[in-house]
Structure 1
Amino acid sequence: MGDLPLQRVTADFPFLSVGIDFAGHFLILNRKGRGAKTIKCYLCLFVCLRYKCIHLEAVSDLSKDAFIMTLRRFVARRGKPIDFFCDNGRNFVAAAKEIVSFLKYIAEPISDYAAQEGIKFNFSPSYAPHFGGIWEAGVKSAKHHIRRVMGNSYLTFEEISTLFAQIEAVLNSRPLCPLSSSPHDYLPLTPGHFLIGRPLRAIPVSESILANVNETQLSRYARVELIRKHFWQRWQREYLGELQQRVKWKTNMSKLNVNDLVLLQEDNTPPLSWRLGRVLRLFPGSDGISRVADISTTTGCVRRPLVRLCPIPTVDDLKAGKMLRLQEAPTK
């Protein structure tokens, strides 16, 4: 595991360096009342790389103009960032093919637009979702439970925008660390402190309108509040489990050299098809450890993270492995 980039560890204003990701689609109603039709909308997530603050926006469709308007709404509320970080759409699952093609289509126009506004757009390598773990975790926290708590409920665009804003407040209220070392201080530091200078609070809602009532008999406002309550119950339990410390990637396993033969891990490859290539170039990080490489294949040069490459053992590696097994073999 490499060191965190400077945007993650240097103190500065919130949302000065931002990670972006899309999630969806969600089915909503085009209007209230009878005869309403279901249409698609999408979730655009912005995460502050320094303080893990979350900003959620509902996007009506996957078009360049809709995305630029989403960026304008974000800048109007959170201020103009200097860095945007985003994956290039290659690591999405098949269910999000439309998002994949959309991100491929807008990559160059959005980069040009950001450059005109003085914003730098950074794209992570293909098939490397762990390069953007901070926004992938945000998408998981939001999308994973939104789909489950919404169920078959169809909200309007205004209602789902309100729901996203309330879920944003839930995610920004999570405790990060103690606010002080005083034994009598029970307040934690939250992402909301960096946004408004104090903890985020919700408008109290009477539990009597939500308890022991069939969901179909609730008003549309009460139904949105019930969805938010269910999201809070699910996400709170998950976040408590995530607070348990986990460690991984503590040893350097990359032993690739230029011209080594490697096998590329590709999704949905046809039977008996092994995509092989030679290491053309390694990209060492600030700590001297390479995590990305350019691979020369029969169809051209591709860039992949080392976690998606499997080195083919050489004759020397096989001999060394044989000698090690002989040394470890018990003597009779």
Structure 2
Amino acid sequence: MSEIHSDNGTAFKGASNELHRIHQMLKTDQGERKQILDWCTENEIAWRFIPPHAPHFGGLWEAAVKSAKHHLLREIGNVHVSYEDMTTLLVQIEICWNSRPLTAIPSDPSDLKALTPGYFLVGTNLQSVPETSLSEVPDNRLSHWQLTQKRVQRIWARWYPEYLQQLQSRALKLIPAVAIEPGCVVVVKDDCLPPTQWPLGRITKVHPSKDGVVRLVTLKTASADSVVRPVVRLALLPVAETQSSRSDPCSDNKNAK
């Protein structure tokens, strides 16, 4: 049986009721929809709600909400923002957060793909149009749109390295710890990337030091077949087969808001 977990929002309640109504309708229909009927009878989606006023029961998704709030408040503070600017800013922050790689997709070893929250929303990765960097331009010289883009870029510049750092620490805390070896998919750190860009690479060769510790590896990326990078500039992606429900590190390691 498939299950969906969420908070007690009215939109989620309505969706749960609608799914149940459709299930009951198809269950009693014996006509041309028999194939749909058979599938729904065996695979009804069960919607599980967390307790009211208990966001810490939400785990991963509530941690992502807390992370977004934290960086948004650090950037905006007490500055007045119009409704339209705030809506645009929140949507673009949502795209950034939902573009983060969760785990490698073990379909074809030659492909460099990662599962992201965007796959659960639209069926593919979320992307945005790269904008010119505005971090050094004074605010009074920017239009509303440019000022919003500058805020998105500043939030991304804070959150992006934090997420990669927690990916690294998460890989070390797994039992057993993730080994650095050929075949592993990694995120390659690049401090100059625009929002929603996550360059991936696959380790093709490791270069152990004299003490046996791997500090240098050779990667295959989307743009080059052989790139040498230090391990400190890489973030290992968890493997789907060993991934637990806690393997999605958001920017904050606490689950409560």
Please give the range of the TM-score, normalised by the shorter of the 2 chains: 0.3 to 0.5
What TM-score comes out, normalization by structure 1 length? 0.38
What TM-score comes out, normalization by structure 2 length? 0.47
Structure with the larger strand share: 1
Q: Which has the greater radius of gyration?
A: 1
Query: More relative contact order in 1 or in 2 (CA 8 Å, sep 6+)?
Result: 2
